[in-house]
Amino acid sequence: MNIGTRPWFGAATGLLLAATWTGAAAASSYEEEIEGDEHPHIVRLVRDLYVVPKDAGLDTRIAEVDLAFVEQMGRHHKGAVDMAEVYLADPRGRNPVLRQLAQGIIANQEFEIGVLQDVRDKVGAGPRRVAGFGDSTVVVLDRGTDGLEHAWRFRKAPPPSTADIWLTPEFTVSDFDVQFVRPMMDHHKAALRMARDYNTDPFASNLILRRMNNDIVVDQRYEIGFIDEVLSRYPGDPEEVPDAPRMMEIMHESMGDMMHGSGSRMEMPPH
């Protein structure tokens, strides 16, 4: 139930209203948590403030859509990390450019898994009432932490490029290389679908997740294009290379119902 579009400023100190009201009578706010000494930066708790009728609770779908996405994307990212680790650990995984790709996938997606876990912990704690006036109540729902890359000293690992291929002497693509990058391409396409589905869900309003999804769209579309370039250099038809059982096992574990048989190929989601 919406009760208007007027903003509400909380009495708690340290809160800065960072968004205007939406149709759900909500606003986002930030609360400073950490400030560095040598290189000042701020890590902020992101929370949403909702005005609801006094005898009503917050619509459960607001938290449920976050928690469902976090579980699904976290499991999905773990699958990408596992596939990259399998490639790096196998003596056949010798291609230096693809090793750089795998190492970047591990570094970047493990960071995002950590962000997803932080969101799960914050949202999973549930909403709480902080104030009341007249027939209305102000409810707060923590959504995640902005700036964890600073707190965790994380720097995004850059993916390889076509220039890396050109600069690699005698660059060749083996059957095992195909068995790694082909399912990884499908895996990335599934991540794009999940990101798009969350960002178009009317109940999906978490600013941390929306920003992560924007990064996923940019980064994984780029890597899909790069993998296309790698596959084009295979001396034969990459579709004729049989699937690697372990890679496909990880795919099924991480994607579940999104898989439709070990030989399936996923289409790119629309822009």
Q: Which residues of the chain have pLDDT under 50?
A: 1-25, 30-36, 39, 260-264, 266-271
Would the CA dihedral through 13, 19, 20, 26 be positive or negative? negative
pTM for the predicted model, two decimal places? 0.82
94: Cα separation from own chain's centroid = 28
Q: What is the pLDDT of residue 17?
A: 30
Q: What is the pLDDT of residue 270?
A: 46
